[in-house]
């Protein structure tokens, strides 16, 4: 089932990534399409403007004698061209920048000086095309041409010519509109992309939390089953074990032989060890409930150390205790069991004359000890029935974790050698 869930999660990730990539491809296509349209509109407008200017220049050359032999006729011709489609204005400047013709003053462009060929300036919603021409200052010297007394190709005196700059203002609102549509489309695609990325992150987190929750539920079910089995086995074993212990104790009192008494004494010790294991099984299988009260951590540590004082002396270990006393909401008996299990585990793992340190604060409790013998595997330490000791049930740390979870605390192994375990108050 877990593999099916993981497979579904991976497929969902791939689908979301594919949608995000498709959205990016759509954005690229959108940009290319609108860019192409904008260029087409722009070239069309510029071509129209240049054709108008060329018609002005062609008229000047072909009809210079009659049509442009005065500023009035030039003005009328410019006004006629400025009425064409997409033409907003056509302005004529003299060589000093003075405006000679300006049919639509609201669309007056800036003077650019003398221009070689054609020059294009693009505004917000206009495209202005500049070019420079030569025309007559007056037409008195041309009157003779009408009578045929002079040849048509006679050289025109330079003093009768003047330089003018023509600025043709074209309406490029179609280009501006296409740009606005492109930017609007990009903003929409960007917003959708942001939502898709946020959705991807949220879905991934949801899947991760969902799978983690399934794993936790699976472990909880396994622990519950093991707890039930442990409880049943403990009850089945405890009654005959108590009877055996009573019979051996009675026999030891009646027996006079020292050798038999020694054997019976060792047997009683082993029965006590078995009884401890049975108690661990009972604790692990029991349904836990916490009676929360304000308790002193310092007092709890001192009480636990006193309970294990004989065990500390047997290994010639003096516990090192540091910390500032604090009050927490907890079940005193169950937290006593947590500390008892942690310190007993530390004592059993430590060598002779080893070191066991207990520190506590408002953040939590830390137990640190040296390790003698086989080093345990970190990822297996909280699993039920896992132990590296020849004597033990492997339930000590599993019980610690269950009681901590009941209180909303966290049990975390910080290091293996030296062994450091921390109980954090708070989730």
3-state secondary structure the chain: CHHHHHHHHHHHHHHHHHHHHHHHHHHHHHHHHHHHHHHHHHHHHHHHHHHHHHHHHHHHHHCCCCCCCCHHHHHHHHHHHHCCCCEEEEEEEECCCCEEECCCHHHCCCCCCCCCCEEEEECCCEEEEEEEEEEECCCHHHHHHHHCCCCCCCCCCHHHEEEEEEEEEEECHHHHHHHHHHHHHHHHHHHHHHHHHHHHHHHHHHHHHHHHHHHHHHHHHHHHHHHHHHHHHHHHHHHHHHHHHHHHHHHHHHCCCHHHHHHHHHHHHHHHHHHHHHHHHHHHHCCCCCCCEEEEHHHHHHHHHHHCHHHHHHCCCCCEEEECCCEEEECHHHHHHHHHHHHHHHHHHCCCCCCEEEEECCCEEEEEECCCCCCCCHHHCCCCCCCCCCCCCCCHHHHHHHHHHHHCCEEEEEECCCEEEEEECCC
The answer to whether the beta carbons of residues 90 and 103 sit under 8 Å apart is: yes
Under-50 pLDDT residues of the chain:
62-70, 139-155
The answer to whether the beta carbons of residues 409 and 425 sit under 8 Å apart is: yes
198 by Cβ neighbours in 10 Å (0-12 / 13-18 / 19+) ranks as exposed
Chain length of the chain: 427
**pTM over cut 0.85:** no
β-pairing, 118-122 vs 99-101, is unpaired
Q: How far apart are CA 113 and CA 93, in angstroms?
A: 9
127 by Cβ neighbours in 10 Å (0-12 / 13-18 / 19+) ranks as buried
pLDDT of residue 141: 42
pLDDT of residue 217: 78
pLDDT of residue 410: 87
pLDDT of residue 358: 92
What lies within 8 Å, CB to CB, of 320 at 6+ separation is 355, 356, 357, 358
Mean confidence (pLDDT) of the chain: 76
Among 53, 46, 134, 59, which residue's Cα sits nearest to residue 90?
53
pLDDT of residue 366: 92
pLDDT of residue 282: 61
Structural domains in the chain, sorted by start: 2-140+155-181 (3.30.450.20), 288-424 (3.30.565.10)
pLDDT of residue 252: 72
């Amino acid at each position: 089932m877990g593999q099916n869930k993981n497979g579904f999660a991976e497929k969902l990730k791939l689908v979301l990534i594919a949608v995000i990539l498709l959205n990016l491809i759509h954005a690229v296509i959108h940009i290319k399409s609108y860019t192409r349209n904008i260029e087409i509109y722009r070239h069309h407008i510029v071509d129209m403007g240049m054709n108008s200017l060329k018609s002005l220049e062609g008229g000047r050359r072909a009809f210079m004698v009659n049509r442009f032999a005065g500023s009035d006729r030039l003005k009328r011709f410019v006004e006629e061209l400025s009425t064409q489609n997409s033409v907003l204005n056509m302005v004529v400047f003299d060589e000093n920048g003075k405006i000679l013709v300006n049919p639509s003053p609201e669309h007056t462009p800036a003077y650019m000086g003398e221009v070689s060929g054609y020059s294009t300036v693009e505004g917000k919603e206009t495209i202005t095309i500049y070019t420079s021409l030569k025309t007559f200052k007056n037409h008195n010297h041309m009157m003779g041409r009408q009578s045929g007394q002079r040849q048509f190709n006679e050289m025109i005196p330079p003093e009768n010519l003047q330089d003018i700059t023509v600025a043709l203002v074209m309406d490029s609102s179609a280009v501006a509109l296409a740009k606005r549509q492109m930017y609007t489309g990009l903003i929409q695609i960007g917003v959708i992309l942001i939502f898709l990325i946020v959705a991807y992150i949220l879905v991934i987190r949801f899947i991760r939390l969902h799978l983690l929750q399934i794993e936790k539920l699976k472990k909880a079910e396994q622990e519950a089953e093991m707890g039930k089995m442990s409880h049943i086995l403990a009850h089945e074993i405890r009654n005959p074990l108590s009877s055996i212990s009573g019979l051996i104790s009675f026999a030891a009192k009646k027996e006079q032989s020292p050798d038999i008494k020694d054997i019976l004494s060792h047997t009683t010790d082993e029965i006590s060890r078995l009884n401890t294991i049975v108690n661990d099984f009972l604790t692990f299988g029991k349904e836990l409930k916490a009676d929360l009260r304000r308790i002193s951590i310092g007092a709890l540590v001192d009480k636990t150390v006193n309970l294990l004082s004989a065990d500390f002396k047997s290994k010639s270990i003096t516990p090192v205790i540091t910390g500032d006393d604090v009050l927490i909401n907890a079940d005193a008996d169950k937290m006593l069991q947590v500390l008892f299990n942690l310190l007993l585990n530390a004592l059993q793992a430590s060598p002779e004359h080893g070191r066991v340190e207990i520190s506590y604060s408002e953040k939590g409790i830390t137990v640190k000890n040296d390790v003698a013998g086989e080093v345990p595997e970190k990822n297996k330490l909280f699993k039920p029935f896992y132990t590296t000791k020849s004597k033990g049930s492997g339930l000590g740390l599993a019980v610690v974790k269950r009681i901590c979870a009941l209180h909303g605390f966290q049990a975390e192994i910080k290091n293996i050698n030296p062994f450091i375990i921390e109980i954090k108050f708070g989730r």
